[in-house]
């Protein structure tokens, strides 16, 4: 049974970093945005109050001297950065510093916190107007849970991350291209395209030993569901090494897992039909 973050208070969203290195809570009115490879960026797209970035660095196989790589991060920063000062945020000892700058005639400030736990170092920054407070960023830092490599965490469903949005877009593009190449027909991502997917798969005859194309079909079936029926929302499933998009029906909290729609049948040698699977999902929601 998946644990859902919908039980959380509405003012917060939960984020679990790719690889499960850490989890945190951030304001519900904020969203994740694309940033550099090593950082995760969050801010309010409707009323900007600042950019919060978090980067994590982990020593995967620390020796005895390095096992407290994250625990000692703030001490190292305090020694190397003379402008840094010690602060305590929640359970974390942090080295805090700030850098002011001007851009297009406005004064800004970037707040910087270096902290960590065990073998994971965290660098958090919050860039905002110079006279604005930094409480939102401090609340996020206080909520961070650095996850242990040795512990198995229960499956969770969290608000959809950028990494899963990219998977959805990539799957749609690949199935659309397959249909166009095999049938020379347009693909709009509507119910009438279900039969096109079926026919294209029959002509393409993809390997039944590789799961990528079958999972992509499952994702596209979910895309069509979401576009045709109100009440669906993409979320991210975190389950051990699995970090995949799933579709959640808000009225019943039913979870539609693209992995299980087509691939689970193909790998067991069962008969399947894309349109029939789609119709079975709709019937199960009634």
Domains assigned to the chain: 3-155 (3.40.1000.10), 160-285 (1.20.120.1090)
Q: How far is CA 136 from CA 32, 44, 51, 248, in A?
A: 15, 11, 10, 29
Sheet holding 92-103, edge to edge: 31-33, 39-43, 51-58, 120-129, 106-117, 92-103, 85-89
pLDDT of res. 6: 45
pLDDT of res. 9: 46
pTM of structure: 0.90
Consecutive sets of 10 residues in the chain, 286 residues long: mean pLDDT of each? 50 94 96 88 97 91 67 94 97 97 97 95 97 97 93 95 97 97 95 96 92 96 96 96 95 93 92 94 89
pLDDT of res. 36: 75
């Amino acid at each position: 049974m998946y644990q859902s973050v919908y039980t959380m208070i509405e003012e917060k969203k939960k984020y679990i970093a790719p690889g499960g290195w850490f989890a945190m809570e951030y304001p519900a009115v904020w969203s994740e945005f694309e940033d550099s490879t090593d950082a995760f960026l969050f801010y309010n797209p409707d009323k900007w109050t600042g950019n919060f970035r978090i980067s994590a660095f982990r020593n995967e196989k620390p020796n005895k001297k390095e096992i407290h790589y994250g625990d000692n991060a703030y001490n190292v920063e305090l020694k190397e950065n003379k402008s840094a000062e010690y602060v305590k945020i929640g359970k974390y000892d942090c080295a805090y510093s700030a850098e002011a700058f001007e851009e297009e005639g406005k004064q800004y400030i970037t707040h910087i916190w270096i902290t960590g736990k065990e073998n994971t170092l965290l660098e958090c920054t919050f860039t905002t107007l110079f006279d604005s407070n930094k409480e939102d960023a401090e609340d996020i830092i206080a909520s961070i849970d650095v996850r242990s490599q040795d512990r198995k965490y229960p499956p969770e469903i969290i608000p959809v991350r950028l990494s899963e949005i990219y998977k959805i877009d990539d799957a749609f593009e690949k199935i659309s291209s397959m249909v166009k190449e095999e049938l020379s027909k347009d693909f709009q991502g509507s119910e009438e395209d279900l039969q096109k997917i079926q026919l294209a798969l029959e002509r393409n005859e993809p390997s039944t030993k590789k799961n990528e194309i079958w999972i992509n079909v499952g994702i596209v079936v979910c895309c069509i569901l979401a576009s045709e029926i109100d009440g669906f929302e993409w979320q991210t499933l975190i389950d051990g090494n699995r970090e995949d998009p799933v579709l959640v029906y808000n009225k019943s909290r039913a979870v539609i897992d693209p992995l299980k729609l087509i691939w689970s049948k193909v790998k067991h040698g069962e008969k399947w039909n894309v349109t029939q699977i789609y119709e079975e999902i709709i019937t199960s929601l009634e």
